[in-house]
Structures are given as C-alpha cells and as structure tokens.
Structure 1
Amino acid sequence: MIIIYHCSGGTHSSVLAANIHLGILPEDRIPDADEMLQKTNFDRSNKKRWGLINKVGYDEHGSLVCTLGRRFSIDITIQALNSLSILFDKKEELQLINIHNDVNFLMKIGGTLSRGLHMVGMGRPIVIKGSQAVYPNIVEVVKNVKQRLYNI
C-alpha cells in the first residue's frame, strides 16, 4: 500500500503526519522545535518540490508512507492520482490523506514567510509554534488512518 499525506506546501503538516505515522515523531507528546527539525524534513521543501511525491519510509505493515505538496489543486491532484491507481488496477493500494485541514493561521503565516519569502529566521519559529498547537490533531488524524487501514 502507498499512503500519501498531502497538504498545500508539503513541508509542514504532511511532514509531521508522515513522521508520526512512522514513529519518528511521538504520538504521546508534542515534540520540541529541535526534534521536528532534526528528525524530519520539516520546513525544508520549496516550490520546486510541489507536485512531487516524496518517500518518507515504510511503516511496520510494509506500507510506503509519502508526502505531497499539491498547492491549491486538491481536486485535480486527487483525481489524477486516483485515475492512475485505477489504470494500474491498484485503487485499494493508494491512500490519499488530506492533512491540510489541520493547518492553522500561524502555520500559514510562518510557512509563507519561511518557504515562500525565504525569511526562515522569521517564519520558522512561527510555523513551529503553529505546528505544535495543532500537533495533537495531526496525531489523531494519523491514528484514525491506522485504525481504518490496519484495525489498530
């Protein structure tokens, strides 16, 4: 199975979700900034990576876990990926998880400053603060995905 966590930029919420899914980031507490930055690709992507599926790793069930920055073309992106999975008769093996719903205002502002305007020093602390605020919500999304896919 291929699990793709997707969001607008593919560098914050989807990265957190994929790394929670793989057990790289904890489910039972909110990681500090150093943990997010040192263990993951958090806040490292750029617009050249939009539309590319990024392999993060394999989970304990052998599923490939990926991220995708799809900007604001959610419907087109989902339709394209689903149609590709149908063409190859792999519809059941592709799981697309929209994590963008858990993005808050601080993440949007911080992400725009850090990734969009290259003002990392100003934007990164803001996006980290916003990410820490919604972290429990992202953990719940990941837990729900695992429950649905693996009955855990």
Structure 2
Amino acid sequence: MIYIYNCYGGTHSSVLAAAYHLKRLDETREPTKKEILNSHNFNELVYKDRGKLYLHGIDEEGNKVYTVGRGRSKVLIPGMYNLIEMLQNEGVLNEKVIFSNCSPTVPLPMTFGGLFSRWLKIDFIGVPLLIMGAKQAYRNIVQLVHFTKDTAKNTESKLLLLDNKRFG
C-alpha cells in the first residue's frame, strides 16, 4: 500500500502526519520543538518543490509513506489520482494508493508561520508560529492518520482520495 499525505506546501502538516504514521513522533503527547523541527522536510521545502513526491519511509506493515505539496492547484491531486487509476487499470501498478488531505488540520498559527517562514523568509516570526501551530494541531493530525489507516484497511477500493474535512 502507498500512503500520500498532502497539504499546501508539503512541508508542515503532511510532514507531521507522515512522522506520526511512521511512529517517529509519539502520538500520546504533544511534540517538543526539537521533535517538530527534526521531522523530515519540516519547514524545508520551497515553491519549486510543489508537486514532488517525497518518501518518508516504510511503516510497520511494509507500506510506503509519501508527502506532496499541492500549492493552490486544484488539479494536481486529481491529476495524480487519474494517473494512478490509469496505471492500476493497465496492470502496471498493483498497490492500493491512499491520498489523505492534511490541510483541514492546519490551525491559524501554522498558516501564518508558513507564510512568514517559507514565503517572506522571516524565520524569527514564522518558526515560533509553526511550532505553536504544530502543537495545537497534533491531536487532529494523529486522528487524521488513524482515520486514514483505518479507512485504507477497511475498504476494497484500490484508490482512495480522502478530503478529511471533518478534522478542521
């Protein structure tokens, strides 16, 4: 199975979802500043990285966990979905693929933190806001990861697109 967590920049909420999925962050408590900042690709990606798939690792069940930033595009994820569907129909790809939207978990501090840090390059304002937002969002992100994994295991469909609106 392949999990693809996606969000606006692909460097905050989706990265944290991948870290919780892979058990690199402890889901039983709020993450520390150091743990957040040390998460793979956290606050590192820039505009040109949008649309690129980043492998974060393989989970305890042998499933690959990826992230992708979609920016403002309304067509990137549907296009990827369509490509995967075609590959599955042609017998080229035989794995189940789950897209999970992490954007509904993003609180206001994380939104502004991303704006200041990634767009305006003002880290001394942006990073503290990102840390605050990551701490605020951690329960919702953990719930989203559990929902994503449970839905993937309990459906026969080979391709899923989860919008996750209920986590906002």
Aligned pair 1:26/2:23, yes or no? no
TM-score computed with the length of structure 1 as normaliser? 0.93
Unpaired runs of 5+ residues, structure 1, are none
- Tell me how far apart the structure 1 counterparts of residues 124 and 22 of structure 2 sit (CA, whole Å): 28
- Compare 90-99 and 22-31 and name the one that shifted more: 90-99
Query: Which amino acid is the alignment partner of residue 117 of structure 2?
Result: S
Residue correspondences, number: 150
- Tell me how far apart the structure 2 counterparts of residues 85 and 93 of structure 1 sit (CA, whole Å): 10
Query: Which amino acid is the alignment partner of residue 60 of structure 1?
Result: E
Query: Which amino acid is the alignment partner of residue 81 of structure 2?
Result: N
After TM superposition, the runs of 4+ consecutive aligned structure 1 residues lying more than 6 A away are none
Aligned pair 1:66/2:66, yes or no? yes
Unpaired runs of 5+ residues, structure 2, are 155-168
- How big is the shift at 1:41? 2.2
- Tell me how far apart the structure 2 counterparts of residues 39 and 105 of structure 1 sit (CA, whole Å): 20
- The 1:58–1:125 alpha-carbon spacing in structure 2 relative to 1, beyond 3 Å, is same
Spell out, residue by residue over 1:7-38, the C-alpha distance to the aligned partner (whole angstroms, 9 max, x if none).
00111000000010000011101111111112
- Tell me how far apart the structure 1 counterparts of residues 138 and 111 of structure 2 sit (CA, whole Å): 15
Identity %: 39
Spell out, residue by residue over 1:53-73, the C-alpha distance to the aligned partner (whole angstroms, 9 max, x if none).
111001111111011110121
Q: Which residue does the alignment assign to 1:3?
A: 3
- How big is the shift at 1:111? 0.6
**Which of 101, 122, 127 pairs up with 1:124?**
127
TM-score computed with the length of structure 2 as normaliser? 0.84
Query: Which amino acid is the alignment partner of residue 53 of structure 2?
Result: I
Query: Which secondary structure state, in structure 2, belongs to the residue aligned with residue 27 of structure 1?
Result: coil
